[in-house]
Amino acid sequence: MNALNNLLDPAVLFFVFGVTAGLLRSNLEVPPQIARFLSLYLLMSVGLKGGFSLAHAGFGPQVVASLGAAMALSLLVPALGYLLLRRLLSRFDAAAVAATYGSVSATTFITATQYLQTQGIDFGGHMAVALVLMESPAILMAMALASWARRQEALGAAAHGQATSAGPSVGHVVREAFTDGANLLLLGSLAIGFVTGDQGKAMMEPFSGALFKGMLALFLLDLGLLVARQLPALRTVHPALLLYGVCGPLVHGLIAMGLAAVLHLGAGDAILLVVLAASASYIVVPAVLRHAIPEAKPGLYLGLSLAVTFVFNILIGIPLYAGVVQRVWG
In this structure, the number of other CB atoms found within 10 A of the CB of residue 93 comes to 19
In sequence order, the 6+-apart residues with CB closer than 8 A to the CB of 318 are 6, 108, 111, 112, 115, 275
Cα-based angle 17, 21, 23 (whole degrees, multiple of 5): 115
Q: Are 50 and 127 in contact (CB under 8 A)?
A: yes
Give the span between the Cα atoms of 314 and 306, in whole angstroms: 11
Q: Whole-model pTM above 0.85?
A: no
Task: Please tell me the predicted confidence (pLDDT) of residue 187.
Answer: 79
Q: CA of 230: how far to CAs of 25, 206, 225, 259, 286, in Å?
A: 13, 35, 9, 34, 13
CB of 302 closer than 8 Å to CB of 234: no
What is each CA distance from 224 to 16, 78, 266, 311, in whole angstroms? 6, 26, 32, 9
pLDDT at 172: 58
Host H or E run for residue 311 = helix 311-312
In the chain, the domains with their CATH numbers are: 2-157+168-329 (1.20.1530.20)
Per-residue confidence in pLDDT tens, the chain, 330 aa = 455 556 668 888 999 999 999 999 999 999 999 988 988 898 888 888 888 877 876 778 888 899 899 999 999 999 999 999 999 999 999 999 999 999 999 899 999 999 998 899 999 888 888 888 887 788 878 878 887 877 777 766 555 555 555 555 556 555 655 566 666 787 788 889 889 988 998 998 888 877 888 898 999 999 899 889 888 878 888 899 999 999 999 999 999 999 999 999 999 999 999 999 999 988 778 877 877 788 888 888 988 999 999 999 999 999 999 999 999 998
Q: What is the pLDDT, as a whole number, of residue 47?
A: 84
Question: Which residue in 32, 35, 37, 42 sits closest to 207, CA to CA?
Answer: 42
Q: How many Å apart are CA 323 and CA 320, to the nearest integer?
A: 5
Please report the pLDDT score of residue 285 as a whole number. Answer: 80
d(CA 96, CA 292): 9
Contacts (Cβ under 8 Å, ≥6 apart) of 133 = 67, 70, 71, 74
CB-CB contact of 79 with 142 (8 Å): no
Q: Are 106 and 283 in contact (CB under 8 A)?
A: yes
- Evaluate whether 300 touches 235 at the Cβ level (below 8 Å): no
Q: Report d(CA 167, CA 159) in Å as an integer.
A: 20
The pLDDT, as a whole number, for residue 39 is: 86
- Residue 97: the pLDDT is 94
Alpha carbon distance 286, 45 (integer Å): 24
* CA dist., res. 325 & res. 266, Å (int): 10
What pLDDT does 157 receive? Answer: 57
Give pLDDT, residue 75: 92
**How far apart are alpha carbons 212 and 14 in whole angstroms?**
14
CA end-to-end distance (rounded Å), the chain: 17
Distance CA 222, CA 280 (A): 18
